[in-house]
Amino acid sequence: MGSFIIWGALIVIIAIAFYIMRFINIDSDEEEIKIGFGGKKKMVDTYGKRINPKKIEALKGLDISKFLKVGGICLLVLALIMSSFKVVDVGHRGVRTTFGKPTMVSLEEGLHFKIPIAQKITEIEVRKQKIEVTADSASKDLQDVQTIIALNFHLDEDKVPKLYQEIGKDYASRIINPSIQESVKATTAKFTAEELITRRAEVRDTIMAFITGKLVKYDIIVDDFNIVDFKFSEEFDKAIEAKVTAVQLKLKAEEDLKRIEVEARQAEQEAIGFKNANIAQAEGEARAIEIVEKQLTKSRNYIEWYKINKWNGELPTVTAGMPFIDVTPVKSIS
């Protein structure tokens, strides 16, 4: 708006300057003229040209105040014209007020007319917006919890005038922030600190349902909701860390016990297998002796047959303490 007034003022000044220049004519004739400043005569020379004295006399009788009045009126008219229009930017809706009273019709993007001084058009953004809020609360087991919330929302385009009338443009601090704080406090009180972590999705859905129900009454539509982070007290963090360590040690002990049990079962199976093998071997030897005894009772020659089958074909080197003479013929060397 201010830039339009500045340009209008420049246009008026230029118009006045052109009007004055009508009384000045460049003449090539050399003349002495009387300007009238002190009554002195002098030669007026502008870039080697002469000013027509008749035009100078007409200029002296010119009333400058008239030009100032005309210029002021032009500026006023221009300001009134420019203030009669308002452009609603993309992603916004306009609310027209007449002497402070809003009309319940939302103005779309583009150029709109308004009565100067009497009417005003206020722009309100209706695109998706994001807000982050930190909410302090307590869990079911009375642990201090700090929850960081990220909320995406937008305004109902058709209900913008109503929102502006009842709440104004500062709806974030008046409505959204308190609704988030109350919703988080009501939800975290239903869960223990540990459950806030282990049942995070359920906690998120519960808080979102609270917030959506509260904001829809003010024509604020929730698009998305996220829990950015949970922060607990330092003592609780240490307790959680100790518990996690204990759980890890327990799991390790259980795994070691399972490994020992498996190894014991393996050793037991090996012992059973070794025992069965020895039993089988002993039973086999006993059975063999039994068979030999039966054969001996049937035939005394069985021992001789058994010796022959067991002999490897080599004669002993010593017998009865005396050397045994080898009578195997020696091949002659030719």
pLDDT for 35 equals 42
Lowest mean pLDDT among 11-15, 240-244, 261-265: 11-15
Alpha helices, DSSP H only, in the chain? 2-21, 53-60, 64-82, 160-166, 171, 177-188, 193-198, 200-215, 234-298, 301-310
* Residue owning tokens 């502008």: 46
| Mean pLDDT, the chain, whole residue set | 77
pLDDT for 275 equals 76
* Higher-scoring residue by pLDDT: 155, 262: 155
CATH 3.30.479.30 domain position(s) in the chain: 129-232
Task: Determine the topology of domain 129-232 in CATH.
Answer: Tetrahydropterin Synthase; Chain A (3.30.479)
* Higher-scoring residue by pLDDT: 125, 325: 125
CA dihedral (239, 241, 243, 245) in degrees, to 10, reads -150
- pTM, to two decimals: 0.55
* Residue owning tokens 């079911």: 140
* Higher-scoring residue by pLDDT: 144, 81: 144
DSSP code of 173? I
CA 47 vs CA 41, 50, 111: distances in Å: 19, 9, 50
Highest-confidence segment of 29-43, 75-89, 96-110 = 96-110
- In order, the DSSP letters of 115-152 are -TTTEEEEEEE-S-EEEEEEEEEE-TT--EEEEEEEEE
pLDDT for 28 equals 41
What are the pLDDT digits (tens) for 108-154? 999 999 888 889 999 999 999 999 999 999 999 888 899 999 999 99
Would you call 307 helix, strand, or coil by DSSP?
Answer: helix
